[in-house]
Structure 1
Amino acid sequence: MDSNAGFTAEAVPAPRQKSQHVGGRRKGTACARCRSQKIKCDDETPSCSNCAKVGQPCIRANLGNNPDAISYITQTEARLRALEESLRRIAPEELDKAPQRLSHSHSLSRSHSENIGSAAAASPATQIGPSEPLAHEVGLLSLANAAEPKYLGPSSGVPFARLIFAAIPQSQGLSTNYWNSPQGNVTDGSTRAALKPALPLPPDWAPEVDLQHFVDAYFETWQPLYPFLNEDDIAGSLDVLFTGQPSAAHSLQMPQLRDIEAALSPFHAVQLFLVVALGARTLEARLSSEFASARYLATAMSRLDRLALHDSLEGLQTMLLLTLSGFCFEHGPNAWFLSQNIIATCLDLGFQRRWQEPPPHDASSEALSQYEVRRDLRRAIFWSAYSIERNLAVVLGRPLTIRDEALDVQFPGAESDANSDTMSALESSSNPAKRMRAEISPYKAAHYSFRFDQITAEIKLMLYRVKNKPDVFPWPTDVNEWQGKCHQRCDELVESLRNDLKWRSRRRTADGIVQRLELKYHQCLMLLHRPSPATSRPRAESWKACYNSASQTILIHSEMHRFSKMPNTWLTAHTIFVSGITFLYCLWVNAAVKEKTSMDEFNRIASACSALLKVLGKAWSVAADAVEKFDRLVSLTSSSWNSWKEAQAERRTEIAAGASLVSLAQDGAVAETTTAVNQADVFEDVGGFNLVEPEFFLTELGDMSSCISVFRSASSLPALHRQVGAQARRYRSTIQAARYSTSRATKPRVAVLYQALEPPIIDGIKKPKKPNGYRDSGADIAYNLGQKKSVDVIKPTADPNPTHDSDWTFPDTEDGILEAIQRGATHLWANTIVFASHPLQTSASIGKYADAVRVVGQSPLCVDRYDNKDWVNNLLRKSDGFSMPRSWAIPTGSAPSIDDLKGLPYPIVAKPIRGRGSHGVKVCRSPEELAVHAKSLADEDAAVMLEEFLQGEEATVTVMPPTAEKKGYWALPVVSRFNHHDGIAPYNGTVAVTANSKVVPDCEKDPIYAHVYARVMRESERAAELLGVTAPIRIDVRRYSDTPDSKFALFDVNMKPNMTGPGRPGRDDQASLTMMAASALGWDYKELLGQILATSSTLATLRALQPRDIP
């Protein structure tokens, strides 16, 4: 490129071309100057000869009637885009010098299309009302990033959204100009760059990363619910790329695009690139990285003209992949158009009917396998198309393409019809042991998805008909009864899928599938209960169900986004926004729902919805446009909330007085009945406000506030509970009295101890010794404390090497401890496991220094008892006020038979009663597996503890003991755990905790989970107080289920949390869970160690402490 290339003030004129018209020149194509001077215009481009002679601009008054002008401008725009793309690759800084793009495009083709669709444009009314909304724009979000308005039917949410503005007082209406103003427009070029289609990859392109990563991401994300591909076929296509390339077989070089297309058939090449595009798109959203997904899609679409997509199984698979691409890419194909073509092709091929071709007789096992694969692919293709079509029919409010009574094809992998398959699934949920032993079909998740789609279709047919024909297809005779039965079927289905899939999802990376199915459940309930043509005035139960499902939909999406599992599609944006306005609408029209909703809950859910829309708005204009609208509705709702609360008492007084006057006007037995009817009418007239009995109100408030339940139980606490609380307070007073009461004049001199002693057998149970005896974390502690000017560190060597663990710590033997004291240590950091017979407790020689030496650690006598996990859990369970899982114990030396273990609830966690970290911890899914694992633990002289397997999020809470500066036990922020291995967090010696853990900053202020986190933090603090610990402990917790509001249970108290940390060479990724929690407070490792050092107690104090007894 020329070095002076760039944008200049004067453009080089293009050579003029003579226009060639077929059948004569069209009328009305003369330029403005020739028209005004009434001279003949020759229509040459880019300027007619008359204007060219005098150097005047040649302006066409009506380009829409001139196909040559349209073609010329289209070609010019395309050429400019190509030049811009080239300039962006070679000299992107030159683009900054270009004139800013106008806010409204003057592209002729766009203007032409806008003129065609102008009839559907929104009215320029200045006030938003129920007939001319903002609500219209709400509905248009369901059309991805399309610019043209489209038809939207009653199930799309548009008529429903209009109801919002009927419920909101019209004095609070907003001007539609607000949304077009610079303040309200979030889609202009200043905030989000214009989206441009990507270019296909060139023939000499070669992938820079292994395409298998993208293929794996696709099959983990999309295949469970849309199983229309055979994973082996795609894997085979990848294998062919290398087996057909001898030069690449023994190197890391990837084949070029031309080689890929030469090695694969056109169908397989296009399918591979579509799978790669969808997988790359998934990883881009998950990892916030660029993987050129749009270019993979453009490459695949540029090859579509070579394929006959109809009338073949491969063509249907390709169209389904294109449909999924339409969900995920801004410039993807039209999903609705594709879904209709797919359904039509399926009908042409008879995929909606049972496959009548019998299996081959006397065939080999390979031939039978191929037959089954082909049969299941036919079924999976149809049901995937069915699922997509049903979803889009509801979202866009379009009629169903095919009715369910015309289908009898089975689900993929099913040997019986769809209904019996569903019944067997529901029956298996009542027999968990039988279900655990059975092999779960890879299509199981898809079966549940298809069943929800069938229910959705039934709801749409029953409730969302725009015209009722009583003689042909009447409404249900009792809509309320039908709704109740349909709701019950949804409940049974979701309960069944949780029982079938909740444990299985933990064994696979695709653990967001259960949540996506739960979202389908809540979408069914919202569709069932919100206003519809058949139920224009829903019952109070319907409003409650609608509100709950809308809230749960937002919270589940928030949870998925938190762990990078939320699908980044325009369907997700539609679902979240419709759920958001459903949530708000229920509060506007039903006072009972508002009565039961706290302001904190309202703010939490509204903030979560707004945050999700902002995240999705980075890619989808529909979400970005919705943010301002939703936030404004939230603001209106919030401002009206206070006014409603203030007027509530006055309204109730007026209603009660009016009802009394009505009753006084009646006489005799008729008075009661008439009073009730008129009172109900009064309630309706004031907008749904209902009288609430005080006791009922307090009950509901108690369910939402832990304070109320505490106050209620305070007057009826059992004597045992009061005794435990008093004893805990005495423990705290004893510990606080043992702290330094005045500041020390000299710096502490700290020696760190490591585990050199073999732990003894206690009550017939032995706890395994830590390999290397915690020397690594001990060296981390000593090295980093030595960097603090306020602390001196005593070391066993004069010149310790930062990379040698042994240079920094002393053994916890009697001789090792005495050596540290004799070298001048005033503080002993017991980075080891202590027990009743430990030298710190029993040595007379060390006891001489008991009043002078301080120890960072726990009481040996207490640890001797509290290291028994079963004992501690029983103590907490019987002390009232702690959420604990169910548990059982297998004594040392016992060998229960498989029959003895059959009555337990599976899956179940088996672990050593005196364990260390995740050593020996395993999720057992059958009696046989449990018996084998129990025997392996028995071989280690370990007693076995069995514990209920909790299905939800795992986290850990570090609790600090009181200090002179900070009174009382207090918890550090929660750290969330993920990426489990077969349901168990991996041992930190195998996987660094920084790779599978994430601190939750400001967890007690979290807009969604604050109440859940606060509750488990308070329980952890009370557990530490009950145990009377003298050093930090870490309590592992886990939610009972995957639902966002599920509370945590305490399942493992760690008396000696790992304390590794960064600082030494090669240790930057060795932050412990406690260190991660402290980082949320702004502490680095040195600050954390200083805070823990302040918790030290005298050795005499620790020796005097006794463990608590179980009540």
Structure 2
Amino acid sequence: MDPPGTGPQHAKKVRVACCRCRAKRVKCDGSLPACGNCARANVSCVDVDSRNNDLPIPRDYIVKCCSRIKWLEQKIRVLDPSFDLTKGPQIDTDPFEGLSLPWPSYQSPGSAASDTPLRAASLNTEVASTVAGPATGKRSHASMEELEIERPPLVEARTVAMDLGMLSLQSDSRQKHYLGSSSGLLFMKLIGAGEAPGPAPPPATRRLRRMASPNRPSEVYHSLYTGLERELPSPEDADQLLAVYFQYIQIDHPFLYPTSLINAYNALHACAQRGYDPGRLDQNGWLRDIKPFPYNGKMDVLDGHECTPISISFAVFHVFMVFSLAATVLTRKKNFDYPPIRFYRMAMLAASECFSNISVPALQGILLLAIQGMTEPAGLNIWTLVHIAMSHCVDLGLHREPNNPSDLPPVALAVRRLIFYTVYSLDRSISTIQGRPLGIRDETFDVRRPTMDDLASNDTPVTTDGDLNLHLPSAEYLAFTVRRFQLDLYISEIKLLFYHLPSQVNSIIWPTDLDKIQQRIKSDLDKWLNDSSSAVPRMDTEESLILHCENLKLELQYHAAITLLYQPSQVFRSPTQQALSLCYQSSSRRLRIYNYLNNKEQLYYSWRNIHGIFSSGATIIYCIWASRNLQTTIPFDDALRNLRTCSNLLSIGGQWWPSVRKGKESFEKVMDLTIKGLRNLESRTISATPITGTYHPAPSSFASNLEPVAPQSQIEPSVQFSGSRDAGAHNAMLHGFELSIGNVDHSTLLGDGLSADGPEVLAIDPAMEHFLSEYLQGDWGWDPFSGS
């Protein structure tokens, strides 16, 4: 019998391949600290935690930890030779015998000095190569940041979870220390502020030391004043940027109070002109001779004197984030030469001072970051930011209507309501796009929905002197905001009733007459759109086209809700022919509206709009392949025009969203298959038996209200539909829901041949099968939201 370890060695079976090998579908040898494939490619070898598939862990983590322990022990021996390392926890290395792991060896204080120079030199070299890179004896800032980046998510997640759990139990957590005073650094990691483009951003370690420094405020204020002198746009440019923000972004996300924003710019402009003077700064970093102004409807009083309630850091962050968003819209229209990244970089200078505690201005900053992430590929986790914003709302009490509303100034009360419903609307939209649960249930809040009276409070006068010559949005224009908030209630009901997973909780009793509820919601949505259309005044002015376009945007959201209502869901897994017809009609109408808005330069390509464009095209393809009735009744030219419109709009969006290009390629492949199938079907059906049915768009009781105020030929008025999917609601196509392609009736699928007796049931093309499967599962690989 062979002694242990001397017999034939059998290759060990690798139970779990590393992430890279799994993605490339190649064999992983399971070597440590990196598999052979990753080692040859000189990339990090990352495993997936068997207990949690969402936690990637580098394979060399233990090796690096042991090397770091060795390095720390060596430093301790140098600093304190009498320190006894043997008193610490001991490590049993027997189970790991044979592994080349640098286990730390504990020695007595006397033996520490007996290390030979050769051993000490080799130890220092090993540690330096593992931890610090070049063998310089010191760790560079780059290596410090590399260590921080490579910290295993499991350890980081546990640390953050413990901190949050402990702090949330504090009695003073409300409005002050929900995330703790050190949350600024954690939030900076979340939003990627340390990685903002620009020249040499300060590393995280340096930021930590500066935050702990007693001179930190003066350093921040000095850098902000220096940046203001260089980056703050002139009043003429600020007029243009603010006007764009109010038209394209404020109307959808009215969480900033326009007058406060203007006051903040005027104050910053005055500070930039006068320059930094540390002897004249107040406690918030403002020059003392700057006239105080209210923010969000409030004014602070200190020692009997009024003072500005926000710091200059908050003002810089809010104003420059607004400029960054507006400049992004303008540069895409080729109407503005100032790069948005300069505004964004300036805002990030103030970010670390804005998120150290929970407040209304901090919540507004989080929302600005969320909108930034939807406006351009900023690398921000939108899902997480929206849920943090909702947590802030609850912590600040914005979800509850005050017992005595008269205790708050009217403007402050209006701002609270508008902020909450902006977060609520974002949550409904992102949850629909990603097919994820709602962040807050409707029965858990009672704050009143904003009305026109709340919006009328925007007309308060500007209180600071300045050179801005800006006209605030009219109440008629902002009425669209109120209508959008009303629609979100229907989205909540649809998501709750038709997209819930099976539950073993017996206390939840779901209604059984869901067909009637579906019809009732459809009727309510029809009434909402009729009321929204009739509420827009007919004005023969230059604003008429803009008002008409805003009205069409409401219709887009109506179609989004209709398709969310009728597309495959957990409750209705196989939609009826009528439901598929509604989805097709709505998606067709939606694409034509998008195209019209694009031609009139009234569409800015946010992620929600791009997602809506793609999902409309995907819905059209799905409905054609799943419905024999649509195959034989829709005009070929109509389907071809819709699909080409979708492809063209995706091409435009791909200019600013690189990930969309992948989706466009996938879409065009299945589009070609669909067009080929329709063409074959049309020619073979005509040669066999003429088609008796004709395609009739669903009648619309509000058709007359959707005619353009400008020339009547600007958009096809003959196609009025009812039903589409939300901005990207294809990801609401059952995230985590096991709906297979087998639920599609294969007898309806387009084939390459038809017999005289009817369709020949042929195997579906693999590319089309993959596309339809992704549609039903809502798992689009090119979608950054789905991979957040």
TM-score bucket (shorter structure)? 0.5 to 0.7
Separation of aligned partners in 1, 2:197 and 2:507:
48
- Counterpart in 2 of 1:236? 263
Contact 2:363 2:392 in 1 (8 A): yes
SS of equivalent residue, structure 2 residue 406: coil
Structure 2 counterpart of 1:574, from 590, 603, 611:
611
Separation of aligned partners in 1, 2:433 and 2:140:
34
CA gap 1:475/1:114 in 2 versus in 1, 3 angstroms: same
SS of equivalent residue, structure 1 residue 359: helix
Matched, 1:330 2:377: yes
Matched, 1:394 2:394: no
SS of equivalent residue, structure 2 residue 333: helix
SS of equivalent residue, structure 1 residue 22: helix
Greater share of helix:
2
Which amino acid in structure 1 is aligned with residue 197 of structure 2? Answer: P
Which amino acid in structure 2 is aligned with residue 205 of structure 1? Answer: R
Counting matched residue pairs gives 497
Contact 1:512 1:565 in 2 (8 A): yes
SS of equivalent residue, structure 1 residue 607: helix
- Counterpart in 1 of 2:568? 531
CA gap 1:412/1:291 in 2 versus in 1, 3 angstroms: same
Separation of aligned partners in 2, 1:24 and 1:285:
57
Contact 1:261 1:269 in 2 (8 A): no
For normalisation by structure 1, the TM-score amounts to: 0.40
Contact 1:553 1:579 in 2 (8 A): yes
Matched, 1:220 2:247: yes
Which amino acid in structure 2 is aligned with residue 376 of structure 1? Answer: A
Separation of aligned partners in 1, 2:434 and 2:350:
30
Which amino acid in structure 2 is aligned with residue 627 of structure 1? Answer: K
Contact 2:327 2:339 in 1 (8 A): yes
- Counterpart in 2 of 1:22? 72
Which amino acid in structure 1 is aligned with residue 262 of structure 2? Answer: A
Q: Please say which structure displays the higher CA radius of gyration.
A: 1
Which amino acid in structure 2 is aligned with residue 391 of structure 1? Answer: S
Deviation at 1:260, TM superposition (A): 10
Matched, 1:344 2:391: yes
Deviation at 1:497, TM superposition (A): 0.8
Deviation at 1:211, TM superposition (A): 1.9
Contact 2:133 2:143 in 1 (8 A): no
- Counterpart in 2 of 1:487? 522
Deviation at 1:520, TM superposition (A): 1.3
Contact 1:227 1:443 in 2 (8 A): no
Q: Map 1:851-1000; keep pairs closer than 5 Å.
A: 951-952=707-708, 954-955=710-711
- Counterpart in 1 of 2:726? none
Matched, 1:277 2:327: no
SS of equivalent residue, structure 1 residue 383: helix
Structure 2: gaps of 5 or more residues: 1-66, 76-90, 92-98, 103-117, 156-194, 202-223, 276-284, 291-310, 455-473, 699-703, 723-788
Structure 2 counterpart of 1:292, from 339, 344, 351:
339
- Structure 1 residues 104-148: Cα deviation after superposition (integer angstroms, max 9, x where no partner): xxx9999999999xxxxxxxxxxxxxxxxxxxxxxxxxxxxxxxx
Deviation at 1:345, TM superposition (A): 1.4
Deviation at 1:212, TM superposition (A): 2.3
Separation of aligned partners in 2, 1:260 and 1:627:
52
- Counterpart in 2 of 1:478? 513
Q: Map 1:425-504; keep pairs closer than 5 Å.
A: 443-468=478-503, 471-501=506-536, 503=538
Separation of aligned partners in 2, 1:338 and 1:1042:
37
Structure 2 counterpart of 1:506, from 522, 543, 546:
543
Which amino acid in structure 2 is aligned with residue 404 of structure 1? Answer: D
Contact 2:387 2:427 in 1 (8 A): yes
CA gap 1:464/1:206 in 2 versus in 1, 3 angstroms: closer
SS of equivalent residue, structure 1 residue 465: coil
Separation of aligned partners in 1, 2:338 and 2:268:
20
Contact 2:399 2:447 in 1 (8 A): yes
Contact 2:244 2:326 in 1 (8 A): yes
Deviation at 1:214, TM superposition (A): 1.1
- Structure 1 residues 756-808: Cα deviation after superposition (integer angstroms, max 9, x where no partner): xxxxxxxxxxxxxxxxxxxxxxxxxxxxxxxxxxxxxxxxxxxxxxxxxxxxx
Contact 1:197 1:331 in 2 (8 A): no
- Counterpart in 2 of 1:589? 626
- Counterpart in 2 of 1:405? 443
Which amino acid in structure 2 is aligned with residue 495 of structure 1? Answer: N
Separation of aligned partners in 2, 1:532 and 1:337:
25
Structure 2 counterpart of 1:205, from 209, 230, 245:
230
- Counterpart in 2 of 1:761? none
Contact 1:237 1:268 in 2 (8 A): yes
CA gap 1:73/1:604 in 2 versus in 1, 3 angstroms: farther
Q: Map 1:363-762; keep pairs closer than 5 Å.
A: 371-413=409-451, 443-468=478-503, 471-501=506-536, 503=538, 506-507=543-544, 512-645=549-682, 648=685, 694=692, 697=693, 699-700=694-695
SS of equivalent residue, structure 1 residue 222: helix
Which amino acid in structure 1 is aligned with residue 551 of structure 2? Answer: V
Contact 1:323 1:333 in 2 (8 A): yes
- Structure 1 residues 453-483: Cα deviation after superposition (integer angstroms, max 9, x where no partner): 1111111111111214584334432222211
Which amino acid in structure 2 is aligned with residue 291 of structure 1? Answer: Y
Separation of aligned partners in 1, 2:288 and 2:688:
74
Which amino acid in structure 1 is aligned with residue 574 of structure 2? Answer: R
- Structure 1 residues 1038-1067: Cα deviation after superposition (integer angstroms, max 9, x where no partner): x699999xxxxxxxxxxxxxxxxxxxxxxx
Separation of aligned partners in 2, 1:468 and 1:357:
39
Deviation at 1:371, TM superposition (A): 1.3
Contact 2:624 2:631 in 1 (8 A): yes
Deviation at 1:585, TM superposition (A): 0.3
Deviation at 1:572, TM superposition (A): 2.1
- Structure 1 residues 137-186: Cα deviation after superposition (integer angstroms, max 9, x where no partner): xxxxxxxxxxxxxxxxxxxxxxxxxxxxxxxxxxxxxxxxxxxxxxxxxx
Which amino acid in structure 2 is aligned with residue 224 of structure 1? Answer: I
Contact 2:651 2:664 in 1 (8 A): yes
Separation of aligned partners in 1, 2:416 and 2:325:
22
Which amino acid in structure 1 is aligned with residue 487 of structure 2? Answer: F
- Counterpart in 2 of 1:175? none
Separation of aligned partners in 1, 2:519 and 2:563:
13
Deviation at 1:247, TM superposition (A): 6.9
Separation of aligned partners in 1, 2:612 and 2:432:
11
Separation of aligned partners in 1, 2:121 and 2:101:
10
Q: Map 1:789-828; keep pairs closer than 5 Å.
A: none
Contact 1:380 1:412 in 2 (8 A): yes
CA gap 1:325/1:542 in 2 versus in 1, 3 angstroms: same
Separation of aligned partners in 2, 1:949 and 1:526:
21
Contact 1:326 1:332 in 2 (8 A): yes
Contact 1:558 1:612 in 2 (8 A): yes
CA gap 1:67/1:328 in 2 versus in 1, 3 angstroms: farther
Deviation at 1:303, TM superposition (A): 1.4
Separation of aligned partners in 2, 1:207 and 1:487:
49
Separation of aligned partners in 1, 2:441 and 2:251:
24
Structure 1 counterpart of 2:367, from 295, 315, 320:
320
Bigger CA drift: 446-455 or 351-360?
A: 351-360
Separation of aligned partners in 1, 2:562 and 2:624:
17
CA gap 1:949/1:626 in 2 versus in 1, 3 angstroms: closer
Higher relative contact order (CA 8 A, sep 6+): 2
Aligned Cα root-mean-square deviation (Å): 4.4
Greater share of strand:
1
For normalisation by structure 2, the TM-score amounts to: 0.55
CA gap 1:550/1:951 in 2 versus in 1, 3 angstroms: closer
Contact 2:322 2:368 in 1 (8 A): yes
User: How high is the sequence identity, in percent, across the aligned residues?
Assistant: 22
Which amino acid in structure 1 is aligned with residue 261 of structure 2? Answer: I
Separation of aligned partners in 2, 1:285 and 1:243:
30
